[in-house]
Amino acid sequence: MKSIAELNAIRDRKKQAIDIREGGEKKYRVVVGMATCGIAAGARPVLTTISDMVQAEKLDDVIVQQTGCIGLCQFEPIVEVFEANDKKTTYCKVDASKAKEIVEQHLKRGQAVTEFMLSAADLEKAKA
C-alpha cells in the first residue's frame, strides 16, 4: 500500500521550485467534455491520456480542464483547445490515439490536426 507519507519528498522538492513556476504563462487551455454523453462516448481515457502526457512531458504551458455538455453529443468525445488569444479549435470523436496525436502535433508543435477537427459540413449534416 502506498501512503501519503511519500508526499513529503514531493513537497520538499516542490517548495524549492514553486517560485519559478508560478509566473509561467499558459499557452494552451485544453477542455474535455465530461457530461454523460462525453463519458459514455469514451471521454475518460481521452482526458487521462492528455493529462498523463502533459504531466510526463512537462508541458508547463498547458492547462487541462473538463466541462459539461456543449450540446453536440453526437460528436463526443469533444476536445477543445483554446490558445492565449482565445482562438478555439474543436476536435470531435476523439479517442486515446487521436488525443496522443493532438498533444504531439498541436500542444507540442503548434500544428492543429485538421483531420480530427469538427467541420462546418459536420454541423450542417447534424442540423439536417
Residues that bind other proteins (CB under 8 A): 1-8, 10-11, 13-15, 18, 34-37, 39-40, 44-45, 47-48, 51-52, 54-55, 58, 64-66, 68-71, 73
Helices (H), 23-95: 36-41, 43-56
Q: Least distance to other proteins from the beta carbon of 89, Å?
A: 21
Q: Which three cell numbers stand for residue 9?
A: 519528498
CB nearer to other proteins: pick between 51 and 90: 51
CB nearer to other proteins: pick between 54 and 107: 54
Q: Least distance to other proteins from the beta carbon of 11, Å?
A: 5
Q: Least distance to other proteins from the beta carbon of 115, Å?
A: 27
Q: Least distance to other proteins from the beta carbon of 30, Å?
A: 12
E-assigned strands of the chain? Answer: 28-33, 62-67, 79-83, 88-91
CB nearer to other proteins: pick between 29 and 112: 29
Q: State the chain's maximal CA–CA distance in angstroms.
A: 58
CB nearer to other proteins: pick between 1 and 120: 1
Taking the CA atoms of residue 11, residue 67, residue 98 and residue 94 in that order, the dihedral angle to the nearest 10 degrees is 150
Q: Which whole-number Å values give the CA distances from 104 to 5, 39, 62, 115, in the listed order?
A: 34, 23, 12, 14
